[in-house]
Amino acid sequence: MAKDYSLMEDSNPSSNPSIHEVSDPARRLILRGGLGLAAGGIFSGLAGCAAGGGLSGPLIGFKSVPVSTKDAIVVPEGYTSQVMAPWGDPIGLAGNMPAFKYDATNTAAEQEAQIGMHHDGIHFYPLGQGAEGSKRGLLVMNHEYTDDGLLHADGMATWSAEKVKKAQAAHGVSVIEVRETGGTWEVVRPSRYARRFTGNTPMTIAGPAAGHALMKTAADTTGTRALGTLNNCGSGITPWGTYLTCEENFIGYFSGGATQTADERRWGLRKDGWGYRWHEHDERFDATKHPNEINRFGWIVEIDPMDPTATPIKRTAMGRAAHEGATVAVTKDGHAVVYSGEDARFEYIYKFVSERKIRPATATQTAAQANRNLLDDGILYVAKFNADGTGEWLPLVQGIGKLTTAAGFKDQGEVVIKTRQASDLLGATKMDRPEWIDIDKQGWVYCTLTNNSDRGAANRPAVDAMNPRANNTQGNIIRWKEEGDFDGTSFRWNHFVLAGDPSLARAEAKGNIKGDMFSCPDGLWTDSRGVLWIQTDMSTSAMGKGDLINMGNNMMLASDVTTGETRRFLTGPAGCEITGATQTPDGRTMFINIQHPGESPSEKSDPTAVTKISSWPFNNRPRSATVAIRRKDGGIVGT
């Protein structure tokens, strides 16, 4: 239901002291420019952290699996998959562990203590040192949206405040504790770490938009305290141990009434939203009554999973956008660089460079505490890809270039709240739906462009060098390498692969894949050995026909970035997408998420026929879930 991308195409339609310190990005940009480009370009970010080690032989060692239309997970010979943490299982709050009811009669209050719906980005945080840290840890995962046809016993046939509350409770983020014994994983219940962040959880707003006039509402006259996080799609991790959850298509939850302002239209606000119907029972989502509430979403939110009392913080310095994910690199001199794509047709790719350097933990502070406000100050940039294979990062800084008061940006708060409008003004490159981003061991930054059926259509942007296919049904993976270090302001780019099916007659849809074919890349993750894992999200409305006729269900593949070879590792159940990936430090368990198994082509399930498309995973009402994948011999996954 919620993923109605047809609605996205109309998205064209103060000195604000942060709560931590006064910022002046324009001044800092000048200062940084004066430092010159750091030498080198060797990746020093998270993706390069060591795991198993001492391995020899080819990077990818498994035998690929064929395309599949089975309602099952298929993994290579010699591998096992185990379903864990499905939607609705209790997260493990002491004294509050309501069991999942297959007739979907769990209440909103019960859903608040249960795993959310529609799992997405995920990360494993070890608990314990050495080998113990690969057997016990926290899984922190996003829940992107809800299929209300499955969430409620009678779907949306009736509608009520209780149902809105249950839908809000099924959104957000879950933290669960997990442990492995003899190759089998289980959720630890109760756990002191178990936590849910929902569409109603109190959060702090920090950075240049905190306290801004455009962030103030009747319920929060300070503009610094928001309720909830929504449409949490991809995620990222910081070197200081926190989790970044990304608010993607937040606008769909709001009703904009009969008319919208130009700014509201630029974000895709429309009369009754995208079908969530929250505004009918929760006035906060009626933008005609609370027009600034929409400005309080679209941020990257930082969560410290190791501190069960920590309040999530919306980090506005990284810009407001339909953030797909957030990928952190580290410069040689210790600055954090956060890449994020905006998944909507003709939107942008951003990067943020922290002003300060990452600090180590001390005797009295954890790393998370030592870097608590690092993401509140820095320079936000938007990407411009030139036809000659070069590119530049354009600063989104008030007072620099066109971003003046006269142009509608009177302070940095207004720039980050109106990141899209500012990027339009600077002439940034309009992309074919940028999804996840990750970085290889040579410092190439990869980004999936999942598809764009509107490229080249009437009154829409034409093809360009970076987005070379009109009616791009298949998607691409692009990559770039910064000049100098990750904080460089120029780069070189190329197409890593154009996805497609070589057997198709339509030349533009064939692609140039070396190895197993795929379409609509979305999830992207570099494991500790440097394998680039690709996850697909062909929409259920497009699957099995047209250019996707031979692709079967969504899948996950491994790519050797040095040879370009791509090998299919896993296929998912019917009507699902595969998204999110993480591993234990020893590389012997990989966790991925299966999102929306059983999704119907209308993207809204019929509650009277919930198992019509899929009954995965337990031969009953379909449930999004995490899957733990291991080699039967206990070896490193992927070798």
DSSP state of 415: H
Q: How far is the CB of 2 from ligand FEO (least distance, A)?
A: 10
User: Tokens 């001390």 identify what position?
Assistant: 362
Binders in 101-160 for ligand FEO, by CB under 6 A: 144
Binding mask of the shown chain, residues 485 to 524, with x at each position contacting Ca ion by CB under 5 A = -------------------------------------x--
- What does the CA dihedral 456, 462, 467, 469 come to, rounded to 10 degrees? 40
Q: How far is the CB of 539 from Ca ion (least distance, A)?
A: 8
- CB of 93 or CB of 449, closer to Ca ion: 449
Q: Answer positive or negative: Cα dihedral of 379, 380, 382, 383.
A: positive
Taking CB under 5 A as the rule, does residue 432 contact Ca ion? no
- CB of 419 or CB of 540, closer to Ca ion: 540
Q: How far is the CB of 233 from ligand FEO (least distance, A)?
A: 3
Q: Give the angle 53-59-62 at the CA atoms, nearest 5°.
A: 115
Number of amino acids touching ligand FEO (CB under 6 A): 7
Beta bridge partners of 438: 446
User: Can you list the alpha helix ranges (DSSP code H) found in 45-182?
Assistant: 108-111, 148-151, 161-170
Q: Is the peptide bond before 312 cis (omega within 30 degrees of 0)?
A: no
Q: Of these partners, Ca ion, ligand FEO, none, which one is at the site of residue 286 (CB under 5 to 8 Å by kind)? A: none
Q: How far is the CB of 564 from ligand FEO (least distance, A)?
A: 24
Contact 527, 589 (CB under 8 A): no
- CB of 214 or CB of 233, closer to ligand FEO: 233
- CB of 119 or CB of 152, closer to ligand FEO: 119
Q: How far is the CB of 341 from ligand FEO (least distance, A)?
A: 8
Q: How many residues does the chain have?
A: 639
- Angular region, 319: left φ>0, alpha ψ -120 to 50, beta rest: left
Q: How far is the CB of 451 from ligand FEO (least distance, A)?
A: 11
- CB of 168 or CB of 528, closer to ligand FEO: 168
Measured CA to CA in angstroms, residue 598 lies from 35, 154, 439 at distances of: 54, 17, 32
DSSP state of 360: -
- CB of 395 or CB of 580, closer to ligand FEO: 580
User: If we measure between CA atoms, which residue out of 2, 72, 118 comes closest to residue 552?
Assistant: 72
Taking CB under 6 A as the rule, does residue 304 contact ligand FEO? no
User: If we measure between CA atoms, which residue out of 596, 495, 618, 561 comes closest to residue 118?
Assistant: 596
84 φ/ψ angles, rounded to the nearest 5 degrees: -145, 160
User: Can you list the alpha helix ranges (DSSP code H) found in 418-544?
Assistant: 419-426
Q: How far is the CB of 319 from ligand FEO (least distance, A)?
A: 16
Binders in 176-235 for Ca ion, by CB under 5 A: 233
Binders in 501-560 for ligand FEO, by CB under 6 A: 522
- CB of 223 or CB of 234, closer to Ca ion: 234
Q: Of these partners, Ca ion, ligand FEO, none, which one is at the site of residue 485 (CB under 5 to 8 Å by kind)? A: none
- CB of 93 or CB of 122, closer to ligand FEO: 122
Q: How far is the CB of 324 from ligand FEO (least distance, A)?
A: 5
Taking CB under 6 A as the rule, does residue 435 contact ligand FEO? yes
Contact 113, 96 (CB under 8 A): yes
- CB of 138 or CB of 233, closer to ligand FEO: 233
- CB of 92 or CB of 475, closer to Ca ion: 475
Q: Give the angle 213-217-220 at the CA atoms, nearest 5°.
A: 100
- CB of 215 or CB of 594, closer to ligand FEO: 594
- CB of 90 or CB of 298, closer to ligand FEO: 298
Q: Of these partners, Ca ion, ligand FEO, none, which one is at the site of residue 169 (CB under 5 to 8 Å by kind)? A: none
Q: Of these partners, ligand FEO, Ca ion, none, which one is at the site of residue 248 (CB under 5 to 8 Å by kind)? A: ligand FEO
- CB of 104 or CB of 556, closer to ligand FEO: 556
Q: How far is the CB of 447 from ligand FEO (least distance, A)?
A: 12
Q: How far is the CB of 297 from Ca ion (least distance, A)?
A: 17
H and E: helices and strands count for the chain: 8, 31
Q: Of these partners, ligand FEO, Ca ion, none, which one is at the site of residue 71 (CB under 5 to 8 Å by kind)? A: none
Binders in 526-545 for Ca ion, by CB under 5 A: 537
Cβ neighbours for 310, distance < 8 A, ≥ 6 positions apart: 303, 304, 368
What is the Cα–Cα distance from 17 to 354, expressed in whole angstroms? Answer: 17
Q: How far is the CB of 437 from ligand FEO (least distance, A)?
A: 12
User: If we measure between CA atoms, which residue out of 278, 277, 265, 196 comes closest to residue 229?
Assistant: 196
Contact 419, 396 (CB under 8 A): yes
- Number of Cβ within 10 Å of residue 480's Cβ equals 24
Of 139, 141, 226, 233, the one binding ligand FEO by CB under 6 A: 233
- CB of 79 or CB of 274, closer to Ca ion: 274
What is the Cα–Cα distance from 298 to 246, expressed in whole angstroms? Answer: 8
Instruction: State the burial class of residue 99 (Cβ atoms within 10 Å of its Cβ: 0-12, 13-18, 19+).
Output: exposed
Taking CB under 6 A as the rule, does residue 248 contact ligand FEO? yes
Alpha-carbon Rg for the chain, nearest whole angstrom, is 23
Q: How far is the CB of 249 from ligand FEO (least distance, A)?
A: 7
Q: How far is the CB of 247 from ligand FEO (least distance, A)?
A: 10
Binders in 318-377 for ligand FEO, by CB under 6 A: 324, 343
Taking CB under 6 A as the rule, does residue 383 contact ligand FEO? no
Instruction: State the burial class of residue 495 (Cβ atoms within 10 Å of its Cβ: 0-12, 13-18, 19+).
Output: middle
Q: How far is the CB of 467 from ligand FEO (least distance, A)?
A: 16
Token output for 558 = 């491994």
Cβ neighbours for 391, distance < 8 A, ≥ 6 positions apart: 383, 384, 385, 429, 480, 490, 491, 492, 493
Write out 103-118 in H/E/C secondary structure. CCCCCHHHHCCECCCC
Interface with ligand FEO (CB under 6 A) = 144, 233, 248, 324, 343, 435, 522
Interface with Ca ion (CB under 5 A) = 233, 450, 522, 537
